[in-house]
């Protein structure tokens, strides 16, 4: 059953954590990154964007060694310290909407990943896996935890609730008005209780971080072959993860945006949709679906509701019943000619709080021709897809919480 371990995190000193912590590199615009780095010499962005030091844009594999160098400089300057004892780290976020996310940061086993005790629901790209594996091997650390879910557990919750009554090691509020807390947990009895509780679970599920986990697995297998002192408890046989109860996961939909109608006129396109959908013009009133198998569409300045004609569509398995798969099978591929959802530059995705008003705005600007919205998938759907051995279409879920980078770092 799943094995999780405490580890000796490298992390910022308490006085600098709010300055170090950063969102994921890709979430910033180029202008936004520069603005933050110009004004904050402690930002973790300086590590993952090492060319800034030389005012030069550096991309590709040549950046990996420079990332390692910037990281070592942060350690040499005592911006980062390493804990003396292996620990779990309780990480809590209260967002600006007062939603609470609380879980444990620790190490997940690549053997559990290999044996499908850590279950996946998304495909990964081989070239991206290999690139990130090489990155990890060069820099020697992981600063972004994989998000793993577990069924709510009374024993784990009791320990967490007791610990968070004490003063947090970290407490800071970000510019997005989310408040972050971190507690260090290394009491041997509590650690053992947590490990035993996880060992009794049949499996864990990846909510976010499929490429990070697969790359960590590939790196571990490579080290196992080449390490003359190999043993199962080697640090590279684990990857940093944020273990969060299923009740604390927030799932949003990813809306779809398509640049053109594949040579069809508006009227021809609507007629093509009629095969699988009952269509209603909602005019300029924003429409957001509230049920499975109902979709919203924005086209030529108007909103439409699309209700699936279930008599014309077969639910052959759990994958075929997913709304993201239905949209792909009935519209994106056969009508709009988009078969490669990952690499076709005619399609884009708007996740999280980029709702149908965002879709409307970018279409009205002429950037896209049509947009589609749906209700979010559920945790049960994600688990069922993973249990049945299927993988979802890309960008099926946008999942929160999103942890800040640079707060806990796992070295191997």
Specify the pTM. Answer: 0.91
Q: Which CATH class is domain 254-375?
A: alpha beta
* Distance from C-alpha of 13 to C-alpha of 10, rounded to nearest angstrom: 10
* Distance from C-alpha of 162 to C-alpha of 90, rounded to nearest angstrom: 11
Domain ranges of the chain: 4-251+400-411, 254-375
Strands (E) located in 68-154: 80-82, 88-94, 100-109, 118-119, 141-142, 146-150
Torsion sign (Cα): 120, 124, 126, 132 = negative
**Mean pLDDT computed over 58-74:** 92
* Distance from C-alpha of 60 to C-alpha of 131, rounded to nearest angstrom: 9
* Distance from C-alpha of 13 to C-alpha of 39, rounded to nearest angstrom: 19
Strands (E) located in 84-165: 88-94, 100-109, 118-119, 141-142, 146-150
* Distance from C-alpha of 322 to C-alpha of 311, rounded to nearest angstrom: 16
Does residue 104 carry a pLDDT above 90? yes
What is the pLDDT confidence band of residue 351, given thresholds at 50, 70 and 90? confident
* pLDDT, tens digit (0-9, with 9 covering 90-100), for 293-309: 999 999 999 999 999 99
Contact, 169 vs 182, CB < 8 A?
yes
Structure tokens at 16: 């600098």
Contact, 87 vs 408, CB < 8 A?
no
Does residue 128 carry a pLDDT above 90? no
Say what the pLDDT of residue 57 is: 80
Does residue 59 carry a pLDDT above 80? no
Mean pLDDT, the chain, whole residue set: 95
* pLDDT, tens digit (0-9, with 9 covering 90-100), for 160-191: 999 999 999 999 999 889 999 999 999 999 99
* Contacts of residue 286, Cβ cutoff 8 Å, sequence gap at least 6: 303, 356, 357, 360
DSSP-assigned beta bridge partners for residue 199: none
* Distance from C-alpha of 174 to C-alpha of 306, rounded to nearest angstrom: 39
Does residue 409 carry a pLDDT above 90? yes
* pLDDT, tens digit (0-9, with 9 covering 90-100), for 6-34: 999 999 999 999 999 999 888 898 899 99
Share of the chain above pLDDT 70, in %: 100
Say what the pLDDT of residue 111 is: 98
What is the pLDDT confidence band of residue 126, given thresholds at 50, 70 and 90? confident
Say what the pLDDT of residue 353 is: 78
* pLDDT, tens digit (0-9, with 9 covering 90-100), for 305-338: 999 999 999 899 999 999 999 999 999 999 999 9
Contact, 377 vs 205, CB < 8 A?
no
- Please state the separation of Cα 192 from the chain's center in Å: 28
**Among 114-118, 126-130, 204-208, 239-243, where is mean pLDDT lowest?**
126-130
End-to-end alpha carbon distance in the chain: 23
């Amino acid at each position: 059953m799943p094995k999780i371990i405490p580890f000796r995190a490298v992390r910022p000193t308490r006085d600098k954590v709010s300055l170090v912590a950063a969102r994921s590199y890709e979430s910033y615009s180029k202008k936004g990154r520069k603005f933050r780095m110009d004004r904050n010499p402690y930002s973790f962005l300086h590590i993952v964007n090492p060319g800034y030091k030389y005012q030069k844009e550096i991309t590709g594999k040549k950046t990996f060694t420079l990332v390692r160098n910037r990281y070592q400089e942060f350690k040499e300057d005592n911006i980062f310290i390493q804990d003396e004892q292996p620990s779990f780290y309780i990480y809590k976020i209260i967002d600006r909407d007062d939603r609470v996310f609380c879980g444990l940061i620790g190490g997940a086993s690549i053997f559990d990943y290999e044996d499908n005790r850590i279950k996946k629901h998304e495909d990964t790209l081989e070239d991206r896996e290999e690139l990130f594996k090489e990155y990890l091997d060069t820099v020697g650390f992981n600063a972004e935890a994989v998000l793993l879910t577990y069924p709510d557990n009374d024993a784990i919750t009791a320990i967490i609730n007791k610990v968070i009554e004490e003063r947090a090691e970290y407490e800071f509020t970000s510019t997005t008005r989310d408040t972050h807390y971190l507690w260090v947990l290394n009491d041997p009895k509590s650690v053992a209780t947590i490990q035993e509780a996880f060992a009794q679970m049949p499996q864990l599920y990846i909510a976010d971080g499929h490429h990070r986990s697969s790359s960590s697995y590939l790196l571990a297998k490579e080290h196992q072959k080449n390490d003359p002192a190999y043993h199962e408890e080697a640090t590279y046989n684990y990857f940093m993860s944020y273990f969060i109860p299923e009740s604390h996961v927030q799932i949003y939909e990813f809306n779809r945006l398509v640049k053109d109608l594949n040579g069809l006129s508006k009227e021809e396109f609507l007629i093509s949709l009629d095969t699988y959908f009952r269509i209603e013009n909602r005019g300029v009133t924003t429409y957001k679906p509230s049920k499975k198998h109902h979709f919203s569409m924005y086209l030529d300045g108007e909103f439409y509701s699309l209700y699936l004609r279930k008599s014309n569509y077969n639910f052959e398995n759990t994958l075929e019943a997913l709304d993201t798969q239905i949209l792909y099978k009935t519209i994106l591929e056969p009508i709009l000619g988009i078969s490669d959802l990952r690499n076709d530059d005619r399609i884009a995705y708007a996740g999280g709080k980029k709702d149908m008003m965002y879709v409307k705005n970018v279409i009205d600007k002429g950037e896209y021709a049509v947009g589609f919205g749906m209700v979010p998938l559920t945790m049960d759907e994600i688990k069922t897809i993973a249990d049945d051995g299927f993988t979802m279409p890309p960008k099926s879920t946008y999942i929160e919480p999103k942890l800040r980078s640079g707060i806990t770092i796992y070295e191997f």
